Chains A and B, each alone.
Chain A
Amino acid sequence: MSAIGYTKAGRRPRIGDYLRDAALYLIILIFFLPVLWIILTSIRPNMEINTRPPIWIPRELTLDSYKILLGWPTPEGAFGLGSNIPFGQYARNSIIIASVSTLFSLTFGTLAGYAFARFAFKGKNSVFLGMMLARAVPGIALSLPLFVLFARLGLSDSILGMIITYVALNVPFTAWLMDGFFRAIPAELDEAALIDGCSRWSAFLRVDLPLALPGAAASGIFAFLTAWNEFALANVITRTPASRTFPPALYEFTGQFVSDWRGMCAMSVMMLIPAIIFVALVQRQLMTGLTSGAMKG
């Protein structure tokens, strides 16, 4: 299961290996270029943006767009639409909604995955298929009826409504991944635990769950990123800073009369930071989880 085995174990790297790595770095650099450009745009003077001929190397760097976004004092005349945006509230909403909904989708998805992996029951295939179908429906097809429903339930423009929505969006994929992870755990371990006198519940908690944790990390990444970045439903359910998240707020940087690319880039970078931290922390578990068998079949 290790990468070393894939090349020959213990072989000393040859020049070809370095060339191959160089090619990899180059490709990844190409993928990274747009990100780099966004970061660069966010820290350069407005005058250098949208020019023809282009200015590639910034002549000076400035954090004005970030300061405007965060409501910190800026030099006279610094332009940015970020000042219209209650960044703190959006950040709070986004963080709460993404993390709480991830937690719940993991919990619900784990339970469902366990049911799929360890039990044979009538209607199992239909339920599984039904869950996958839910993923085929795009947000805009749900948005109006969901708005109507949430308005009746008093859930529109609320953090709770957003959490419920994202839990539902993420449960199917989580359940599917978790099913794979549980099936990769030999049932004999369960049996051993049960023979040792564990209840089924404690066998689940002590044996299956710890072994499935890397899988949960993998599912967690996907659930978190979905909740962090979803737009169509957030745009409908949230109406005010009380529950509005980052993605709909991006629209506030662009208009028919004036746009603020730099401000949007700054906000993009700010949005990216928590995601990067999260992914960097769990990417190792992600690979462990995915290699352990979730995808096999």
Chain B
Amino acid sequence: MSTKKMTRRDFLKYAGLASGAAVAASVMGTLPAAAAEATEKPSLFQFPHIQKKEFEGVIVRMLAISGANYDELYKIIPEWEEQTGAKVEFVFKGDGFQTDKRLVQDFAAGTVDYDVCWDHSSFFSQYVKADGLEPLENWFSDEELADFIPRLVDATRRDGHLWVIPRHFDISCMHYRTDLMGADQVPETWDQFKELAKQLTDPAKGIYGTQFAGKEEALSGRFYEVMTAEGGQLFNEKWEPTFNSPAGVKAATMFAELYAAGAMPPGMTSFVWEDVAKNFAAGIIAIYSEWYGWYSFFQDPSASKVAGKFDLARQPMGDGKIHSGWAGHHGFSITKASQNKPAAASLIKWLTSVKGNELEAKLGFLVARQSVWEKIIVEAETSTDPLAKKRLELALLQAQEDFKTPPLIAEWLPMSNILYPILQQIILGDVEPQKGLDDAAEQVRDMMAKAGYYGTGA
């Protein structure tokens, strides 16, 4: 279930209103199909690193993400407590935004009173910058990390250290209507996608060729993944913004062209994830990029008009011959302030164990361990859902080859907040793509300068 994109996460900064957006994440759990399987018992698994009662009397305090399906994993904690003799205390549970807000505040104010915290590939850089996290390479051996999808682990390496142990991830793929187009029409490139979307637009039937979430990080992120596919980069090696390159202009122009052609709903600049998913479920969109997390919602005939009428495909490539693959993952980190680091590491190992992953895979999450993937793909062969196996294989392929986080710097979200209003202006035709991106690059450069990236500060 996706929660990667917490666009409104900006709020969190400390002032965040945040709560809202990430409820979302939590509610994903109540989506019909995912919830049904939750009760099944995961296979028991003897966890190798635990020695009996090695942490007798230790209290491990934890700041955790919460919401229906996230909490399922925490149900395996008592078993760990039993084995190690430690006790786990939840200091705080909240959705992603609340949790991030709390972390930012606590790292800034030095009020950290917990050992293990929730973390996210798009978020952790700011905690590193605030000097709040413990490097994990001392606590996790390469051997222990070998089973994790390598791109997920690499996504949290920064400054030569490892900061987050991944739990599960999300990535997007093309969702297209099999009743409106054939499998042979599936676009290989974003150019083909653009033409196809225009072609499939049919105002008489109320069908829009495509759509994108049109604000906040959701928009910046889609721009990012199209631009990188076209061979562009957000920054060069000196951290100077380069998204106003021809690749960036081409990506932005695609959005603007699709909007001008009427191939996207006119209100798209106010769409967030919920809106795009509902539009697709309402049957008014022909093809678009969507997170895997919505799959069971789309296949539920009581909620969706497209159940059984859509298929999935890998994200298109651009001129750079690269597949788009904007992605992110949830995980756990140890705080620098922790007084119980060995026990904290042990708890994280338990939560991200095969057992934990299997449990989460059953809930519909895309989990981090390859061995678990192999197992669930075999199991999916017997599923009554014809897409079940394809979906998993595609997701795994994307995770292994296309998984791409935004730049691992704390400035990604501030940058997104500079970028997205300008992208909106470009889409609406209020400003020319080149001019708009130049302007955005100028503002981003200014921000990066202030943040000290170019040496002498402001």
Contacts and interface: CB of A to CB of B under 8 A. Distances in A.
The yes or no verdict on A and B being binding partners is yes
A198 interface: no
A258 B27 contact: yes
Contact of B23 (A143, A147, A240, A252): A252
B102 A257 contact: no
B181 to A, nearest CB: 24
B277 A257 contact: yes
A248 B19 contact: yes
A200 interface: no
B367 interface: no
Interface in B1-42: 2-3, 5-8, 14-28, 30
B411 to A, nearest CB: 19
Interface in A222-263: 235-236, 239-240, 248-249, 251-259
A258 B274 contact: yes
B204 interface: no
A127 interface: no
B218 interface: yes
A151 B25 CA distance: 29
A255 B22 contact: yes
Nearest to A152: B109
A143 B105 CA distance: 14
Contacts of B25: 255, 257
A254 to B, nearest CB: 5
B273 A257 contact: yes
B218 A256 contact: yes
Contacts of B334: none
Contacts of B7: 256
Interface in A180-235: 235
Contact of B28 (A236, A252, A257): A257
Contact of B15 (A144, A151, A259): A144
Contacts, number: 74
Interface string B254-298: 000000000000000000111001000000000000000100000
Interface string A277-288: 000000000000
B17 A248 contact: yes
A255 B23 contact: yes
A256 B5 contact: yes
A79 interface: yes
A168 interface: no
Interface in A116-144: 140, 143-144
B24 A236 contact: no
Interface of B is mostly: helix
Given A79-B30, A151-B109, A239-B102, A255 B21 contact: yes
A223 B410 CA distance: 41
Contacts of B14: 144, 147, 236
Nearest to B8: A256
Nearest to B291: A257
A251 B18 contact: yes
Contacts of A62: none
The winner among A151, A249, A256 for most chain B CB atoms within 10 A is A256
Contacts of A84: 23, 26, 67
B19 A140 contact: no
Most chain B CB inside 10 Å of its own CB: which residue of A79, A253, A259: A259
Nearest to A81: B23
B23 A253 contact: yes
Contacts of B274: 255-259
Contact of A256 (B17, B67, B272): B272
Nearest to A259: B274
Contacts of A235: 15-17
Contacts of A253: 20, 23
B300 to A, nearest CB: 12
Contacts of B3: 257
A75 to B, nearest CB: 15
Contacts of B218: 256
Of A248, A252, A257, the most chain B CB neighbours within 10 A belong to A257
A52 to B, nearest CB: 9
A254 B15 contact: no
Contacts of A236: 14-15
User: Which 6 pairs between the two chains have the least Cβ-Cβ distance?
Assistant: A255-B24, A257-B24, A251-B20, A258-B27, A256-B272, A255-B23
Interface of B: 2-3, 5-8, 14-28, 30, 67, 92, 102, 109, 111, 213, 218, 272-274, 277, 293
Given A251-B17, A257-B273, 17 more contacts: A147-B14, A151-B109, A235-B16, A235-B17, A251-B19, A251-B20, A253-B23, A255-B21, A255-B22, A255-B23, A256-B21, A256-B213, A256-B272, A256-B274, A257-B3, A257-B277, A258-B23
Interface of A: 79, 81, 84, 140, 143-144, 147, 151, 235-236, 239-240, 248-249, 251-259
16 contacts: A84-B23, A144-B15, A147-B14, A147-B15, A235-B16, A251-B18, A252-B23, A254-B23, A255-B22, A255-B24, A255-B27, A257-B2, A257-B28, A258-B27, A258-B28, A259-B274
